[in-house]
Amino acid sequence: MTETSPLAPVLTHDGWELLNSLPVYDDAASMTLNQRLRDAGHDAELVAAALTQSRLRRDARVKFGDFAERMLFTDDGLQQSTRLPVAAHHARRFRDAGVTSVADLGCGLGADAMAAAALGLDVVGVESDETTAAAATMNLAAFPEARVEHTAAEDFIAARRLLEPGRAASLGWGVWLDPARRDVDAGRSAGGRTRRLWDPETFSPPLSLVTELAATGAPLGVKLGPGLPHELIPADCEAEWVSLDGQVVEVVLWFNALARPGVRRAATVLRTAGNAGTDDAGLAVEELTSGEDFTATPEGEAAGVAGLTGLLCEPDGAVIRAGLVADLAERLGGRMLDEHIAYFCVDAEEVEEAAASTATVRAYRVIDVLDFSIKRLKRWVAEHGVGRLEIKKRGVDVVPEQLRTQLLGGRKKRDGAAATLVITRLGEDRVAAVVEPLPRR
Ligand SMILES: C[S@@+](CC[C@H](N)C(=O)[O-])C[C@H]1O[C@@H](n2cnc3c(N)ncnc32)[C@H](O)[C@@H]1O
């Protein structure tokens, strides 16, 4: 690694010791700490590098938990890295498919590679950026079965002849790719962020290289942004949308031995901490799959306003992105209200219980259903002494903050009862459902 690399100072013995001796990074105390360390005789460049790493370690706890305390980061690498629980989910797919070695082509800081190595898989991480490769090398140092090559994925593929049919599979390799989807050449925002790319051919490596590798029969997974249009998804893979604690984080396209037989699209809802039924990575996992292609239209009538009773279910974003709302409604014995609106309702008590205990939906008890009229809603708010109002909307052109101000008028926010309104369009009707959120699972 070149001496000009921002990581070079902390990769010396003294630098590493200094970094690991620092207290949890505190923005307010950083200037004083910087001065104190320099007064104690530490080199200014080393102090700056150690404090940067200390700040990144603090920020990285969200994604890496306690592991962050021993890792090295770059700003860009951290922004792009996979959250460790999600990486563990990827790694399990490789292990369960019988893959023994993983080539992680564009390994970044090594989150996915770490998770695979932690399951005992052999891992080679390939990374074209020198500083990122150095950080990944350190992050994987605890795993003897993992190593990092600082080279371009394309060169690695050529050197190992991975575009030959059957080659990766014959080596016992699975291939993982998490292409860079940010434009590093187009400058940065004030917050230091790079611009997001949308065209999969501008990703690095591009999607066409991924599909070329997949065409060789390689067991392969590629992580992409969850907004990937369905029409860009190749016909011969399983597409899995994943959410973590309610946030949709990715879609992974799984090819060949890593795709589940008969599964075309899937939603995986992951929850961390405090859940019953957690797996070996401490995660609660709920999955919904379909063998139907994306264009398949769900069967069954939409119930409209008349069906807006019992529990209103708002599916997790992964279910919505995977186009599996109607499938989930069917699984829970519910009824769709409108084919274009991602809500459904369930009634029977035992079904209500299922809907209230799954993380695939957020459930709300329907208290009342009103016509969507400002006058009518103002009256309702006044009659019920509402002072705090949460407004959710779907399929209607409403700005919740503006509507809240309109309905509450001069009423103080903390003054009065709390209420939740769901504004939506069902067929020709615009309605406001008064609902009560059930506790989150
Ligand atoms: C999205 S990041 C990977 C993040 C990684 N999965 C993690 O969780 O830490 C993509 C990485 O690919 C690297 N990269 C981009 N193009 C590459 C190429 N052609 N060959 C090798 N690495 C590449 C980038 O430098 C970046 O670090």
Radius of gyration from C-alpha coordinates of the chain: 25
Residue 105: name the closest of 201, 235, 213 by CA: 213
Pocket perturbation via mutation, ligand 1, pick of 124, 126, 127 by most ligand atoms within 8 A of CB: 127
Residue whose CA lies nearest to ligand 1 atom number 3? 108
- CATH number assigned to the domain covering 305-437: 3.30.2130
Q: Provide the percentage of residues in the chain whose pLDDT is more than 90.
A: 81
| Bridging pattern class, strands 146-150 and 122-127 | parallel
pLDDT surpasses 90 at 99: yes
pLDDT at 190: 67
C-alpha–C-alpha distance, residues 18 and 134, integer Å: 18
Task: Indicate if the pLDDT at residue 228 is higher than 80.
Answer: yes
Domain borders along the chain are 8-59, 79-290, 305-437
Question: Considering the chain, what percentage of its residues have pLDDT values greater than 70?
Answer: 92
Q: Report DSSP state, residue 277.
A: S
Q: Which residues contact 315 (CB under 8 A, 6 or more apart)?
A: 324, 325, 328, 342, 343, 344, 360, 361
Atom of ligand 1 nearest to the CA of 179: 10
Binding-site residues, ligand 1, Cβ < 6 A: 77, 80-82, 106-112, 126-129, 132, 152-154, 178, 180, 204-205
Going by pLDDT thresholds of 50, 70 and 90, the confidence category of residue 302 is confident
C-alpha 4 to ligand 1 mean position (Å): 21
Q: Are 309 and 366 in contact (CB under 8 A)?
A: yes
pLDDT at 275 over 60: no
Residue 415 tokens, joined: 């003054």
pLDDT band at 1; cut points 50, 70, 90: low
Let me know the angle formed at the C-alpha of 402 by 398 and 406, rounded to the nearest 5 degrees. Answer: 110
Task: Report the atom number in ligand 1 closest to the C-alpha of 129.
Answer: 25
**CATH architecture under which domain 79-290 falls:** 3-Layer(aba) Sandwich (3.40)
Mean pLDDT taken over the chain: 92
- Global confidence as pTM: 0.91
For range 298-312, the mean pLDDT: 84
pLDDT of residue 263: 97
Strand order in the sheet with 311-315: 335-336, 344-346, 311-315, 361-371, 429-437, 417-426, 386-394
Compute how many other C-beta atoms are within 10 angstroms of the C-beta atom of residue 440. 11
Q: What is the mean pLDDT of residues 138-159?
A: 97
Q: Whose CA is nearest to atom 10 of ligand 1?
A: 180
Please tell me the predicted confidence (pLDDT) of residue 3.
63
Going from the Cα of 132 to the center of ligand 1, the distance in angstroms, rounded, reads 9
pLDDT of residue 281: 60
SS3 state at 428: coil
Least confident of 13-22, 47-56, 117-126, 342-351: 342-351
Distance CA 71, CA 87 (A): 16
